Each structure stands twice: as C-alpha cells, then as structure tokens.
Amino acid sequence: MLVAVADKPSEQLKLIDDIQRLGVVHGEDILEEALAFTTTQLESVITQISNASAAQIIHALKQPIHKGLTRLEARHYISIYQAGSHNKALLKFAKLDFNLLQKVHRTELSDITRWWKDLNFAKKLPFARDRVVECYFWILSVYFEPQYAFARMLMTKIIALTSVIDDIYDVYGTLEELVLFTNAIERRDISALDQLPRYMKLCYQSLLDVYDDIDGAIAMEGKSYRVHYAKAAMKQLVRAYFHEAKWLHEGYIPAMEYMQVALVSCDYFMLATTSFVGMGDLVTKESFEWVSNNHLIVRASSVINRLMDDIVGPEEKGKYAMAVEGSA
C-alpha cells in the first residue's frame, strides 16, 4: 500500500505532493485512495504539530506546489522557513531578492496600467473585458525574472488587446463588420482603418502601434523577423475567431471539425510564438520555425488549453459549441 510508506506528517505531505506532481494515469484508483487517506490523516494532525508545519500542510492541501506561481510560492515559503530552523544569511537574501524583484514588477504594472488607461477602452469599448492586471499576472507565470522585463511588457499588451479582439468576435461585431476587421488584420495596413467602424478602428490602431513599438525596439538588434512570426500567428488566430463567429451567426453547430479551429482560437499558438519575441539571445530563428511547425508538445498544450477554457468559460462567453460537449 502506498499509504503504508508514509506514516509521518512530513512523509504524508511529500506523498501528496509527489502524487499531484507526477500525474500518473495507470493505477489511478490506488493513487486517489492514497491521496484521500493521506489528506484525511494530515487534516487530523494539524492541531497537534508546530505552527510552521501546520501552515505548510494547510497550504499544500489548498494549493499544490505544481499549481502555484513561483514567486507566490517563494513568498509563502519565506514565512514558513523563517518560523523554523533556518540559515539567517539565506533568509535575508531570499527576502531581499523577493522585495527587489517585486519592485520591478510593480513598476512594470504601473507602466502597463498607464498605457491601458490612455487607450480608455473601458469607456470607448464597454463591451470588452477590462483585465489588463490579470493579463500581467498571467505572464508572470511564464517568466518572472528581471531580464524578461521587455517580454512581459509586450506580452501583456498583446494579451490585453487579444482579449478585446476576442470580445469583438464573440459578443459585439456583426458578421459584415467582422469580415472587414479580419481583412484589415490580414493586410496589416493603416489604410484599412478607413473601412472599419469606429470601435474597431480603436482596437486595430492600438494593435498596429504595439507591433510597431516591438519592431522598433528589436530592429537594431537584427531581430525584426520575430515580429513577422508574431504577426503571422495573430493573423492565424483571427481567422479562427472569424470561423467561429461565422458558425455562430449562421446558426451552425459544428461536430468534430470544431477542434481543428478551436485549437487555434484557444490562443495558445499565438501566445507561445509571441512569448519568444522578447526573450533576447536565448531565442533564435530556429526557435520560431520550431514552434511554427506545430510539434506534438504545442498541439498537446493547445488541446489542454482548449478543454480547460471550454470547461470553465462557456457561461462568460456564450459559445455555441464546446469540445467537452462534442465528446460527450
């Protein structure tokens, strides 16, 4: 029995973490039994152990390490580490590191928020989700390190604008307007503004400006090719958005062909491609070619992203068909 090898709280805590991290499929019933038993055992001893150990157990049961954000987990563990036996120099360094990097993140978020407020989408496009802070928090889970400041800034802007574009296709634009908008993004030409409704002009102009800013920041380093890949991924995403919008406006309920389009409209490929743009010399042109070839890990990640979005998001977005429904 798995539970027989873990009779101490520390061992039980490690067993829970190992089970959740490994994600083993075979023998799932045994793992579920072990997880349930160990959880019950840990909950029963919380009042009998030190505060530091109890805090660690409570947090582990509520928030598994592999589901947490690195910096948030670090902040939580600093308190636990400080309460027990610890290396004073290491603790001091950990606190200094956390506070300095948090200051960097706060400055970035301040700049991002100022950019977003200047766009004034909350007033001009009231139908769109106002979620720029959420977008920044999301990208922190991808790269939080100080050397990726530029990458975080550009990714937050792209994610925020993509959210607005998604809402235009999902809840606001007419089919005729969406044809114009899709064609404009395909052309990536400022002259396309004249053909768009006023509310679309705001979003389209902002998207062009962000890509121009990115290109200007990396052109001197000979990395403009990266923007080409990012724009191509955005065009592919918008085509998928339009495909879904057309289905909705025509009252068509797709079967399994839904997944072919939905794996693009889930945004994963576009975001993965764009996330490479600001990563400095760590990324090469071969990196963009690799992700563009839609390798298995990219496809699998898109499937996970799509299914998770369909499970938790249909009430918000009013989608006509969900992958989880199609497979029932």
Is residue 84 domain-resident? no
Residues 6+ apart with CB under 8 A from 244: 169, 261, 262, 265, 319, 320
Q: Residue 181 and residue 187: Cα distance in Å, rounded? A: 10
Q: What is the per-residue pLDDT across 205-231, written as a single tens digit (0 to 9) for each?
A: 999 999 999 999 999 999 999 999 999
Q: What is the pLDDT of residue 17?
A: 63
- CATH code of residue 50: 1.50.10.130
| 10 assigned to some structural domain | yes
CA angle, 115 as apex, 113 and 118 as ends, to 5°?
A: 105
Kindly state whether residues 176 and 36 are assigned to the same domain. Answer: no
pLDDT in tens, 134-173: 999 999 999 999 999 999 999 999 999 999 999 999 989 9
Tokens coding 26: 């075979």
Residues 23 and 109 placed together within one structural domain of the fold: no
- Return the C-alpha torsion angle 44, 49, 54, 57, nearest 10: -60
pTM across the whole model: 0.81
pLDDT digits (tens, 9 = 90+) for 245-290: 999 999 998 887 888 999 999 999 999 999 999 999 999 999 999 9
Domain boundary among 67, 83, 117: 67
- Residue 93 in any domain: the answer is no
Q: Give percent of the chain with pLDDT exceeding 90.
A: 56
In angstroms, rounded to a whole number, what is the distance separating the alpha carbons of residues 149 and 154?
9
Examine the pLDDT at 179 and tell me if it is beyond 90: yes
Which of these three, 42, 67, 92, is where a domain ends? 67
Closest CA to 84 of 61, 54, 53, 60: 53
Distance CA 15, CA 21 (A): 10
User: What is the pLDDT of the chain when averaged over all its residues?
Assistant: 85
CB-based contact 84:39 (threshold 8 Å): no
Is pLDDT at 235 greater than 60 in this prediction?
yes
Half-sphere exposure of 91 (CA within 13 A, CB side): 13
DSSP secondary structure code for residue 85 in this structure:
S
Structural domain total, the chain:
2
**Residue 144 three-state SS:** coil
161 plus 62 within the same structural domain = no
In the structure encoding, which two tokens stand for residue 222, read together?
Answer: 């000979």
Q: What's the CA gap between 226 and 271, in Å, rounded?
A: 13
The three-point CA angle 288-289-290 to 5° equals 90
Q: How confident is the model at residue 19 (pLDDT cuts 50, 70, 90)?
A: low
Are 19 and 112 contained in the same domain? no
Cβ neighbours of residue 324 under 8 Å, at least 6 residues apart?
307, 310, 311
Q: What do you get for the CA distance between the two ends of the chain, in Å?
A: 34
Same domain, 149 and 43: no
Residue 328 — pLDDT band, cuts 50, 70, 90?
very low
How confident is the model at residue 4, as a pLDDT?
47
φ/ψ (deg, to 5) at 68 = -95, 165
Between CA 129 and CA 39 the distance in angstroms is: 38
Cβ neighbours of 15 (radius 10 Å): 21
Structure-token match 């090898």, residue found = 5
CATH code for position 207? 1.10.600.10
6 or 52: which leads in pLDDT? 52
CA distance 82 to 77: 8
Range of the domain at 207: 100-326
Tokens of 32: 């579920």
SS3 of the chain: helix, strand, coil, percent, to 5: 80, 0, 20
Same domain, 220 and 118: yes
Residue 236 has pLDDT above 80, yes or no: yes
Single out the residue in 17, 43, 67 at which a domain terminates: 67
